Amino acid sequence: MHWFVLCLKKYAIFSGRARRAEYWYFSLFCILFSVGLSVIEMVAFRVDSMDPHQVALSAIFGLAVTIPSLAVSVRRLHDIDKSGWWFLLHLVVLVGTIILLIWDCKSGNIGPNRFGEDPKEEGDGPEEAVDPNPSHPHHDIPDSDSQQ
């Protein structure tokens, strides 16, 4: 959920880079919310999901996440050092979408690129910082041989 909220906070920011986790979790939660809203429409309001004139909640949600979806897609392309204009590759039926899907699965460039700093190094993710010199949990326990 952290990544979904992060994308909504960056509502129309097309500059910078987006990690794979940010992109894929945003996509996952968009799909889950869309399915959930469709179920609510069908059950609570007795809406036929095939009638485009009756699908209000799903349509409103779809419009609300259009710009953040475009923004996170462009930032994801920036992470692999591609221009955001490559998003227009979706206009090439099937082939363009497959190419973009492969690029979306690709790991981002390590270190800074022409679109900004590496988002994995910025530490905006939910991961905790790892201590480079962790103490061993068994160092505090005295040896049984030294006690005699």
- What are the residue boundaries of the structural domains of the chain, listed by start? 2-122
Q: Give residue 128's pLDDT.
A: 39
Q: Give residue 49's pLDDT.
A: 59
Q: Give residue 38's pLDDT.
A: 84
Q: Which amino acid is at 139?
A: H
Q: Give residue 129's pLDDT.
A: 41
Which residues in the chain show pLDDT less than 50?
127-131
| Nearest of 21, 18, 15 to residue 1 by alpha carbon | 21
> Measuring CA to CA, how many Å separate 109 from each of 15, 50, 65, 89, 122?
16, 42, 27, 21, 14
Q: Give residue 8's pLDDT.
A: 87
The number of residues in the chain equals 148
pTM for the structure as a whole: 0.74
Q: Give residue 130's pLDDT.
A: 42
Q: Which amino acid is at 85?
A: W
